[in-house]
Structure 1
Amino acid sequence: MLQKLNFPEFSFRFKNSENKVSIFDCIRKKFVILQPEEWVRQHCVLYLMEVKKYPISLINVEKELSINDLKKRYDIVIFNPDGSIHLIVECKAPKININQTTFDQIARYNTALNATYLMVTNGINHYYCQMDFENERYQFLKDIPEYSSQ
């Protein structure tokens, strides 16, 4: 039984093989092993597409980046049409508490990515903030903006 998350109800495609359940990732166009963090990530992707109306063509999932010669992976990135980064999402498993360390992690990623918005979620609690690059800080928001093609 999968944990109920604090997202709208979405329908997912599942596959069972070798006693492992996989979930279909519409961004990567393949089935991926269903771990607690993946469950959160897939909800978040559909939330961004179906609720916030971000086009699938601007969404990227689980890509590697280098920060100070360290290889890191981000969970979800939404690009602006010009190729700059609009939003970074860090997904955690539901049992992981989100705290200052989690924000420091995504803020560190953002030194390389320069996203305007950050979102951190464990599927239960979602936190959103907007970067203030001039003052090198972030401001918490109630939600992230819907996609607008401007």
Structure 2
Amino acid sequence: MQELNFPKFNFRFKSNENKVSIFDEIRKKFIVLQPEEWVRQHCVQYLIQYKKYPKSLINVEKELKVNGLTKRYDIVVFNPDGSIHLIVECKSHKIKIDQTTFDQIARYNLALNATYLMVTNGINHYYCMMDFEKERYEFLKDVPDYS
């Protein structure tokens, strides 16, 4: 797999019928290893190991309704009160992050109302904080540590 712009993490892999799978600590199962999943698993480990977010507050690949359409978010981190702290949109390292990606996560955030947004393709990471009063986002250097 492509080397990513994340710290090195130890992952569990298994091979079955010529497909490699990676163990997802959040979903507690092996997931077929695709380029986007490689980015997602690095991001989850980054949030757990470096940003100290509790695994119990992280959710991966769940459905949500946006304008009546069913969509799937990549990663959501909840606050202890159940509100949403962070949404992460992961793309394959082959996908260039552009305005379309930001539009996608902004649409998701209309339904989720997260305070922070992160967009990553594993190579480039973008972090934003929502300003709901001005209806815009401000770019940050990183997402905050769990406090």
State the TM-score, normalized to the length of structure 2.
1.00
User: Deviation per CA, 1:79-129, whole angstroms, max 9, x where unpaired?
Assistant: 000000000000000010001110011001000000000000000000000
Report the AA paired with residue 90 of structure 1. E
Matched, 1:66 2:65: yes
Q: What does 1:14-93 align with in structure 2 at a 5 Å threshold?
A: 14-93=13-92
Matched, 1:147 2:146: yes
Shift of 1:59: 0.2
User: Which residue is 1:96 aligned to?
Assistant: 95
Identity %: 80
- CA separation in 2, counterparts of 1:140 and 1:103? 12
Q: Secondary structure at the match of 2:65?
A: strand
User: Deviation per CA, 1:9-36, whole angstroms, max 9, x where unpaired?
Assistant: 0000000000000000000000000000
Identify unmatched segments of 5+ residues in structure 1. none
User: Which residue is 1:111 aligned to?
Assistant: 110
User: Deviation per CA, 1:50-101, whole angstroms, max 9, x where unpaired?
Assistant: 0000000000000000011100000000000000000000000001000111
> How many residue pairs are counted as aligned between the two chains?
147
Q: Which consecutive segments of 4 or more residues in structure 1 shift more than 3 A?
A: none
Q: Secondary structure at the match of 1:112?
A: helix
Root-mean-square deviation (CA, aligned residues, Å) is 0.3
Report the AA paired with residue 41 of structure 1. R
- CA separation in 1, counterparts of 2:4 and 2:96? 14
Q: Secondary structure at the match of 1:28?
A: coil
